[in-house]
Amino acid sequence: MIRTIIALKYARGLFAAGKEDGRFKEYGEELQRVAEFLKGQPEILEALESPIYPPDLKMEIVEEVIKGLGVDESVAKFLRLLVEKRRIQFIADIAAAYQNLLDEELGIARAEVRVATPLDEEMQKALAEALSKKIGREVVLQVVEDPEILGGVVARVGDLVLDGSIRAQLEKFKESIIRGEVS
């Protein structure tokens, strides 16, 4: 809970600065790039989080990351602030919170779609359009293969879950047999 509160506070701060500069999308991309880099380099993130290392060494490390990734100066200032305030360990949470703010600003909904077998690009596009019509917002899909659903699709957009899986249909059929509704 505290992670979420801290992440949202910092994400809102950077987002406000990005809106003021008219570069909120770019800031989000930069922040995501840094978060992904640090996720892929756990030893660097561990050094930045560790109380063993002095603050000046952590700042040197972050400067190298900034330089190596060619991070925008405004986002670089933000990263320095995170190190200074000992909040760099929340970078992934901050990036996720920032993405949520960005999606809200742009009217985008993210949908997690579970399928038993891969969907081709055309099917993904059709599914995104159908979900967009259903919720009235642009939908970006994250497709996850899940053989447990047997077939069909389970889509989750925020709190809305649309279960069109064969597993769900079999469960409904089983329940109707138990209740004696099937002849």
| Residue 37 pLDDT | 96
Mean pLDDT by 10 residues, the chain (183 residues): 90 95 94 95 91 92 94 94 93 94 90 86 89 87 84 81 74 76 60
Pairing status of strand 108-115 against strand 138-145: parallel
pTM comes to 0.74
Strand partners, 142: 112
pLDDT at 92: 93
Q: How far apart are CA 99 and CA 28, in angstroms?
A: 7
**Alpha-carbon distance 91 to 10, whole Å?**
9
In whole angstroms, what is the distance from residue 36 CA to residue 41 CA?
9
pLDDT score for 182: 58
* Domains of the chain: residue spans and CATH: 2-103 (1.10.520.20), 108-178 (no CATH)
CA distance 27 to 15: 8
